[in-house]
Amino acid sequence: MSATAKKQAPNAEDIRARKGGTPLVSLTAYTTPMARLMDKHCDFVLVGDSVGMVLHGLTSTLGVTMEMMILHGQAVARGLERAMLVIDMPFGSYEEGPQQAFRNAARLMAETGCAAVKLEGGVEMAETIRFLVKRGIPVMAHIGLTPQSINTLGGYKVQGRDAQAEAVLADARAVAEAGAFSVVLEKVPQKLADKITAEVAIPTIGIGASAGCDGQILVVDDMLGFFTAFKPKFVKRYADLGPMAEAGIAEYAAEVRARSFPAAEHVFADQAPAAKAPSKG
């Protein structure tokens, strides 16, 4: 599939210009039908590497591959007309250095038509972000809790409490200065998130951060109640679709076993129904 920029969708500079304005709305998506449902409600849609845990049953995002991101990226691209498409760079696809990052980011853009990529890391990723942006690849940064680093962070902990605050602030300054057009703040204490939002010139996108951020993002399966393995504190359930889906499946199973499905209206007669006579006038 070749790159197909959506004419109506905002681009990275449109998103950057929303700093301090009406909060940016975003969700993750991994499939065409879900992308269609959120297209008119979101400013941007992220194909997050959370896809590995949410749809593929992985226990972390570390096993997610470029091929998975491209496949889901293409699916989501087919469902979007108005929202901007951003795709996560998976673990191992950019950390070696700017050249590796460029190669894989360019592949994501060329094969999915996404308008930007997201990568995790602050000060240590600034050089890579600068390299990508200078070569035509808009970058959304992601700091605070960076799930690809859970093994060095010691788990899914809040990042930036007490003495850690300066380091998270330094990360925010570094990615903004390197040219990122926005930055995700994940599991950053509220006051620190507000301070970063006030200080950096690019929009902050909160997830477990603060309502004062320039925008918010959630994993769609979390907020709709499809992903129930665990529920982080920062997730609000706006619907409970997992249990509803299971109830439907249980009813179907019972009806099949009772031979009450399929019913008369779901099966076909031996002969085709007579064609209707054409109406006059």
Q: Give the binding site for ligand KIV (CB under 6 A).
A: 28, 46, 48-50, 88, 142, 184, 186, 207, 217, 219
Q: How far is the CB of 50 from ligand KIV (least distance, A)?
A: 3
Q: How far is the CB of 139 from ligand KIV (least distance, A)?
A: 14
Burial label, 64 (beta-carbon count in 10 A; 0-12, 13-18, 19+) = buried
- Rounded CA gap, 211 and 218, in Å? 13
Structure-block tokens of residue 217 = 């993002």
Per annotation, catalytic residue among 127, 186, 246, 251 = 186
Residue number, 147 or 189, with CB nearest to ligand KIV:
147
Q: How far is the CB of 228 from ligand KIV (least distance, A)?
A: 16
Of all residues in the shown chain, the one whose CB is closest to ligand KIV is: 48
Residue number, 88 or 111, with CB nearest to ligand KIV:
88
Tokens 């992985």 map to which residue? 58
| DSSP-assigned beta bridge partners for residue 182 | 140
> CB of 91 within 8 A of CB of 64?
yes
Active site residue 186: yes
Residue number, 49 or 111, with CB nearest to ligand KIV:
49
Task: Report DSSP state, residue 280.
Answer: P
- Rounded CA gap, 9 and 164, in Å? 37
Strands 215-218 and 204-207, by their bridges, are parallel
Residue number, 48 or 215, with CB nearest to ligand KIV:
48
Q: How far is the CB of 251 from ligand KIV (least distance, A)?
A: 32
> So which residues are the catalytic ones?
186
